[in-house]
Amino acid sequence: MTLSVFNTMGSRKETFVPLSPGKVRMYVCGVTVYDLCHIGHARANVAFDIIVRYLRHTGYDVTYIRNFTDIDDKILRRAAQEGSDYLAVSTKYIRAFHDDFDRLGLLRPDGEPKATEHIPEIVALVARLVREGKAYEVGGDVYYSVKGFPGYGKLSGKNVEDLRAGARVDVDERKNDPLDFALWKASKPGEPAWESPWGPGRPGWHIECSAMSMKHLGETFDIHGGGKDLVFPHHENEIAQSEAATGKPFARYWLHNGFVNINNEKMSKSLGNFFTLRDVLARVKPEALRFFLASSHYRSPIDYSDRSLTEAKAGLDRLYRVKEKAEACRAAGAASSSVPEGEEFDPLRNAPARFAEAMDDDFNTAAALGHLFDAVRVLNRLTPGEPSAERDRAGRFLAGYERLDPLFAVLGLLRAPSAEHFQGAGAGDGGRIGEAAILAGIEARRAARAAKQYGEADRIRKELEASGVVLEDGKAGTTWKYKE
């Protein structure tokens, strides 16, 4: 199966064909650095991190660029609040961004351009648009003329006349059209400013991404990504100004990730359900959050809740138990052999192909994770009672795990040694683990007993007991309760 992606331009799946065979040039809109990142930023950045990892896993040479907006009205307001300047604010929050996302295991992009480092390119692009009659200057401000671009609205599907009818014409009476947007803003007293043909000022938001992406990737590149909230007006405006300047298609494929809801409600500061990434990482291990984000397709909305995080932790623990066994096999000197033949081992033997099939379907991480868990269930049947005594069985187990390990890496999972992952694990609210983790343990124990792996079943029981959970086996199955 060849890779297909859902292209927001046209709202359809398309076979992915890069401009240059074997090479992918990709630009993802980054953050405006005036505050800490929130859980929505985590969703977007993990999604595109996995996309980059998968493209490289399949052999593409990927050039990945993600920008920082480091001059903006919000940054200036924050600087005024903190009694500092824009540079101190942007530097502070870029550092915080890296701290948070390094913990989440994100790959650093090949380039992280900042708007203030690309003023010459921005001024040149604005001047080009003015020279070609696509933009006009008014009192030191420069506006893009939407009427001069017949394709305006082609990404978002919005109708220009409907937009014009709904626009507030009194926002700036100097504009020729209410839809026209700022490319260059004249500086106000006390604001940072850069020289330009229209006087001192600073770039508008939209123009910076066009200038930076074209400098680092060319006038046409393969993938442009970001959150759904950027489709209009940001990405629509990027297309208009870029294609008006060059006469070429700007990006070939537009990929947008879905929103994060909080307990089935839209995240909003006004609703009191707004979480910074740092808030979340104080409560949950970074890799468990990453697992949670990978458990849904990147384009679909995802619901953040305590229950969903507990389930993610339980799922991640199950995967780490498999890694723990593989580490034990290696420590015992087992040599990787081969995965057994037979239909029952198909989910393990075919895991790479099934994983690729899911990821080739518009990077469907939810389905890919499902195939990995199918493979893990089969792999657990090969668990040796004592790796040093059952070398052949340990070798087969190790072969199975090594088949899966590169796939975990595509999702950015199982990065730590198992002992490090489980260190201090087991405590939840009041020292208790959650119900989802308990039920996952019970199911793993049932599977171990069905496979006559009684040592593994006993280990799971003892682990649950150490976490304050008592199991009771009966005719109707296994029930549980917390220790008094």
Query: Residues 92, 238: one domain?
Result: yes
384 and 435 fall within a common domain: yes
- Residue whose tokens read 């995802």: 302
CB neighbour class for 358 (10 Å; exposed up to 12, middle 13-18, buried from 19): buried
Q: Are residues 125 and 254 in the same domain?
A: yes
Residue 148 lies in a domain: yes
Residue 296 lies in a domain: no
Among 260, 277, 294, the domain boundary falls at 277
> Does 273 map to a domain?
yes
Q: What is the rounded CA–CA span in Å between residue 214 and residue 235?
A: 14
- Residue 263 shares a structural domain with residue 315: no
Q: What is the value of pTM for the model shown?
A: 0.86
Do 268 and 400 share a domain, yes or no? no
Q: Does a structural domain hold residue 124?
A: yes
The amino acid present at 62, given as its one-letter code, is V
In a domain, 170, yes or no: yes
Q: Give me the tens of pLDDT residue by residue for the chain, a chain 484 residues long.
A: 799 999 999 999 999 999 999 999 999 999 999 999 999 999 999 999 999 999 999 999 999 999 999 999 999 999 999 999 999 999 999 999 999 999 999 999 999 999 999 999 999 999 999 999 999 999 999 999 999 999 999 999 999 988 887 775 456 778 999 999 999 999 999 999 999 999 999 999 999 999 999 999 999 999 999 999 999 999 999 999 999 999 999 999 999 999 999 887 877 766 667 789 998 998 899 999 999 999 999 999 999 988 999 999 999 999 999 999 999 999 989 889 988 888 899 999 999 999 999 999 999 999 999 999 999 999 999 888 888 778 888 899 999 999 999 999 999 999 999 999 988 554 333 345 656 567 767 877 887 788 777 877 887 888 788 777 888 888 768 888 776 5
Helix or strand holding residue 220 (H, E): none
Which H helix or E strand runs over 256? strand 251-257
Query: Do 202 and 322 sit in the same domain of this protein?
Result: no
Round to whole Å and give the CA distance between 289 and 237: 33
Mention every residue, 6+ apart, whose C-beta is less than 8 A from residue 458.
none
The parent domain of residue 75 ranges over 9-277
Distance CA 458, CA 454 (A): 6
Contacts of 460 (CB under 8 A, 6+ apart): 441, 444, 445, 448
> Is 104 found in the same domain as 63?
yes
Work out how many domains the chain is built from and give that number. Answer: 2
Residue 305's contacts (CB-CB under 8 Å, 6 or more residues apart) are: 262, 263, 264
**194 and 130 within one domain:** yes
CA distances from 195 to 120, 133, 198, 340 (A): 9, 21, 8, 70
Among residues 226, 217, 225, 223, the alpha carbon closest in space to that of 18 is found at: 223
Contact assessment for residue 358 and residue 371, using Cβ atoms and an 8 Å cutoff: yes
Q: What CA–CA distance (Å, rounded) separates 311 from 434?
A: 8
Does residue 348 sit within a domain?
A: yes
CB 363 within 8 A of CB 5: yes
Neighbours of 218 (CB within 10 A): 15
Is residue 4 included in any domain, yes or no? Answer: no
Q: HSE on the CB side for 36, CA within 13 Å?
A: 12
Residue 207 covered by a domain: yes
Alpha helix positions (H), 12-168: 39-57, 73-82, 86-103, 119-131, 160-166
Domain identity same for 271 and 314: no
* Cα(51)–Cα(47) distance, integer angstroms: 6
Residues 6+ apart with CB under 8 A from 239: 151, 154, 155, 250, 251
- Decide: 393 and 382 in contact? Cβ < 8 Å: yes
**Which residues are registered as beta bridge partners of 255?**
225
26 and 112 share a domain?
yes
What is the β-pairing status of strands 260-262 and 265-266? antiparallel
The rounded distance, in Å, linking the Cα atoms of 347 and 349 is 6
Q: What distance in Å separates the CA atoms of residue 70 and residue 119, rounded to the nearest whole number?
A: 12
Enumerate helices (H) and strands (E) in the chain, giving the number of each: 17, 15
254: CATH? 3.40.50.620
Sign of the four-CA dihedral 187, 189, 192, 196: positive
Whether 64 and 141 map to the same domain: the answer is yes
pLDDT of residue 413: 98
The β-bridge partners of 253 are 223
Whether 316 and 212 map to the same domain: the answer is: no
